[in-house]
Structure 1
Amino acid sequence: MRYTRRAVLGTAAVAGLGTVAGCLGSGDPPEAPVAGDPDADVTVTVYEDFSCPYCRDFKLDIVPQLEEAYLEPETIRYEHRNFPVPVDNWSLPVANAARDVFEESGSDDFWTFTTEIYEHLDAYSYDVIEQVADDVGADGSAVREAAEDEAHESTIEDDRSYAESEGVEGTPTVFVDGEQVTLQELSFEQVAAPIEDALE
């Protein structure tokens, strides 16, 4: 399976944070950024780490196909959730920046920001975070400050705690109506098949 190393890293890193996440977690996940139809019968949830190259590939290669097939026709509800694996210094700052964009500017700017920030995965910096936030219409300096201060740490930890309770071990992890999708490879077809089954 393509994500074996990532899954091991995720399990080991999160094990060390389980106590903290459990304290912060309320049992229910935080409000998620949503695309498509918020009230659709089928929900697709994707757990991501902004430092994961597979998540970048998923966002830049597969999500545009999902958008054309399911999000623009509004046949599914598509949710983003955080599962940062803290083996990279940028996992948490970028997640905090993205969350700040969502809370201050809304879902549309969030989706644009998360797509554009992945294009800088190999060159993250606070300057890049600020510039991308400005480019999508958010307050770049405020987003930068949220990233530097990890202002949304408790929300991100709640996401991660909920992910653990759902059996998430690596990224990207996809659920369709609460059922985890086994991804043998990163492809549109692997994600679309269970969506089609759920839509029948």
Structure 2
Amino acid sequence: MSSELKKSKRQVLREKRQREQQRGRVISIGAVVLGALLIFGLLIYPNLKPVDVASAASFERPNADFNATGDPNAPITITEYSDFQCPYCKRFADDTEKQLVETYAAAGKVRFVYRSFGLFIGPESQASAEAAYCAGDQGKFWQYHDVLFANHTGENVGDFTNRKLEAFADSLGLDMGAFGSCLSGGKHADRVTQDGIDGHAAGLQATPSFVMTYTVNGETKSQIIEGAQPFSAFQSAIEAALAEMGQ
């Protein structure tokens, strides 16, 4: 009887250990499944979810040529140094650019040029600038420019990841193979870097900044307009330059 009792106790202990081992395996499997779900939720699902692209209110750019618009022989050239991540650049694009282009570029008085100047905000500034130039290779720089600003919500918040930049291009009907190769290959990286170098050489320290150049009696003159100024500020500067040139 005593032997049977000891055997029964050993069996109970063995079964208890087996249950604990089984419970441990279940917990381990559950932890693995939970970890997989977390990885899927954090890393994989965002890349499967469709990108919502806000539509842009684009407008006609006369004589559009890559990143420039207006008559190449216009008496005044205004070069904007901007950053697609910059909220003040977005303000200028939303509030002033259209009126400036329609009033002076369309009239042949101003050649308006966009260059990037966002080396100090973050990597999305560089990526979006390169992407805009890649779109320019397919004749849609300005349309892409408008889509970028339409989808801007802040600085370094993930607005311009490569996946989103590709979605913007796709929304404009670009050749995605050519666009993807351009962007991933860094085709315009040096151009974006040179934009920044030229901006610093001109003495610019903020975005947006505008360099207005014109010629009077063979002498090239320049003026810097800094910040997201209203149309009236550009109008005053342009009219003064035209008057100085006798136009």
Superposition TM-score, scaled by structure 2 size? 0.61
Tell me the residue number matched to 2:189. 153
Q: Is the 8 A contact 1:46 1:80 kept in 2?
A: yes
In structure 2, the CA distance between the partners of 1:199 and 1:67, relative to structure 1 (3 Å rule), is same
Q: How does 1:1-200 map to 2 (within 5 A)?
A: 33-102=67-136, 104-106=137-139, 109-122=140-153, 123-177=159-213, 178-183=222-227, 186-200=229-243
Deviation of residue 164 (structure 1)?
Answer: 1.0
**% same residue:** 27
CA distance, structure 1, for counterparts of residue 164 and residue 135 of structure 2: 14
Q: Is the 8 A contact 1:92 1:150 kept in 2?
A: no
CA distance, structure 2, for counterparts of residue 190 and residue 92 of structure 1: 29
In structure 2, the CA distance between the partners of 1:42 and 1:126, relative to structure 1 (3 Å rule), is same
Deviations 1:1-44 (A, max 9, x none): xxxxxxxxxxxxxxxxxxxxxxxxxxxxxx97210111101111
Give 1:192's aligned amino acid.
Q
- For structure 1, which segment, 118-127 or 43-52, has the greater mean C-alpha deviation from structure 2 after superposition? 118-127
Give 2:149's aligned amino acid.
Y
In structure 2, the CA distance between the partners of 1:145 and 1:121, relative to structure 1 (3 Å rule), is farther
CA distance, structure 1, for counterparts of residue 185 and residue 85 of structure 2: 18
In structure 2, the CA distance between the partners of 1:145 and 1:182, relative to structure 1 (3 Å rule), is same
Deviations 1:57-87 (A, max 9, x none): 1112111111221122232111111111333
Give 2:160's aligned amino acid.
Y
Which ranges in structure 1 are unaligned for 5 or more consecutive residues? 1-30
Could you say which structure has the larger radius of gyration?
2
Q: Is the 8 A contact 1:93 1:150 kept in 2?
A: no
Q: Is the 8 A contact 2:119 2:196 kept in 1?
A: no
CA distance, structure 2, for counterparts of residue 116 and residue 32 of structure 1: 16
Q: Is the 8 A contact 1:32 1:81 kept in 2?
A: no
Secondary structure of 2:123's counterpart equals coil
Which ranges in structure 2 are unaligned for 5 or more consecutive residues? 1-64, 154-158, 214-221
Q: Is the 8 A contact 1:45 1:81 kept in 2?
A: yes
Deviation of residue 45 (structure 1)?
Answer: 0.8
Secondary structure of 1:121's counterpart equals coil
Runs of 4+ in 1 over 6 A off after TM superposition: none
Superposition TM-score, scaled by structure 1 size? 0.74
CA distance, structure 2, for counterparts of residue 137 and residue 39 of structure 1: 31
Q: Which has the higher contact order (CA 8 A, sep 6+)?
A: 1
In structure 2, the CA distance between the partners of 1:125 and 1:135, relative to structure 1 (3 Å rule), is same
CA distance, structure 1, for counterparts of residue 120 and residue 127 of structure 2: 10
Deviation of residue 149 (structure 1)?
Answer: 4.3
Secondary structure of 1:43's counterpart equals strand
